[in-house]
Structure 1
Amino acid sequence: MSDQQPAAVAGTYFDALAQGDVPGAMALFAPDVVWHQPGANQFSGDHVGGAGVGQLLGGMMEASQGTFQLKVDGAAMINGDLVAVPVRFSGSRGGATMDMRGVDLLTVREGKIVEVHLFSEDGPAEDRFWGQAG
């Protein structure tokens, strides 16, 4: 059962992302996962289900011309089914760059990520990078 512990699920998720294994990372989401993307940009809002999250992440990769990266930037902090992970994320698009810290807060139940909340150190700068909905 240890593979269903929140810390282990989160670790597997971030390891998959680091290796570019998007299908492996996506497989860890519950079918009805809810991803809360902060800010006031074209990607902000709630994205529901694997298809919604996949569309969000694909849109970010397209907008950043494939440069968007996310790296774990510290030890995970666990509180029951919540896992807070310090991250650093970056990307570039059309001469603009973004490089900042944040926290990804995952809710893990029964071995699956059921909810994701993201926090950015500079929300207005992230909004400027991603731009408004077209």
Structure 2
Amino acid sequence: MKAKEVVAAYSIALSKGDIPTAFSYFSPNAKWHQPGNHQYAGTKNGLEAIGKMLGDMMTATQGSLVVKPAGAMMVNANLVSFPVHFSGKIGEKTIAMNGIDLFEVVDGKIVQVWLFSEDQDAEDIFWG
């Protein structure tokens, strides 16, 4: 599977809420680089840590966190840039902004993910 196909398959599974299938596209030793200065920021190493972070984010937002494609994926060798729009709600706080998710794919598996937000300060306030 080419890098773009791997990321597309991951995105489709994630959009359906099929976490086991989504995670099947990751290397067990994947690294997830969550930007910012909030409780979820930092590099998560391995599927267990990544899964815990994403699960905690879904719990905090009571399942309202949604990430949707916001443009075409772009490929540079084994890197895939994926424009997204994400939104969610925690109590009275809401977030809705664009970002870029950058995936590194090696041997058909996602090995690293870097996230970028259009307003990191606002995202930091949202996540607390």
TM-score by length of 1: 0.94
Partner Cα separation in structure 1 for residue 16 and residue 52 of structure 2: 20
Across the aligned residues of Structure 1 and Structure 2, the Cα RMSD in angstroms comes to 0.5
Partner Cα separation in structure 1 for residue 28 and residue 66 of structure 2: 24
Partner Cα separation in structure 2 for residue 86 and residue 43 of structure 1: 21
1:49 aligns with 2:26: no
Displacement of 1:49 after TM fit? 0.5
Displacement of 1:19 after TM fit? 1.2
Partner Cα separation in structure 1 for residue 27 and residue 44 of structure 2: 13
1:82 aligns with 2:98: no
Q: Which residue number in structure 1 is paired with residue 94 of structure 2? A: 97
Partner Cα separation in structure 1 for residue 123 and residue 92 of structure 2: 14
Displacement of 1:6 after TM fit? 0.1
Displacement of 1:23 after TM fit? 1.0
Partner Cα separation in structure 2 for residue 28 and residue 53 of structure 1: 13
The superposition leaves residues 29-82 of structure 1 with CA deviations (integer Å, 9 ceiling, x where unpaired) of: 101000000000000000011101000100100111111010011100000000
Partner Cα separation in structure 2 for residue 84 and residue 32 of structure 1: 21
Displacement of 1:14 after TM fit? 0.6
Q: Pick the aligned partner of 2:60 from 56, 60, 63.
A: 63
Q: Structure 1 stretches of 5 or more lacking a match?
A: none
Count of residues paired in the alignment: 128
Displacement of 1:99 after TM fit? 0.3
Q: Which residue number in structure 2 is paired with residue 121 of structure 1? A: 118
Partner Cα separation in structure 2 for residue 34 and residue 52 of structure 1: 9
1:28 aligns with 2:25: yes
Moved >3 Å (runs of 4+) = none
Displacement of 1:109 after TM fit? 0.5
Partner Cα separation in structure 2 for residue 114 and residue 45 of structure 1: 16
Per the alignment, in what secondary structure is the counterpart of residue 15 of structure 1? Answer: helix
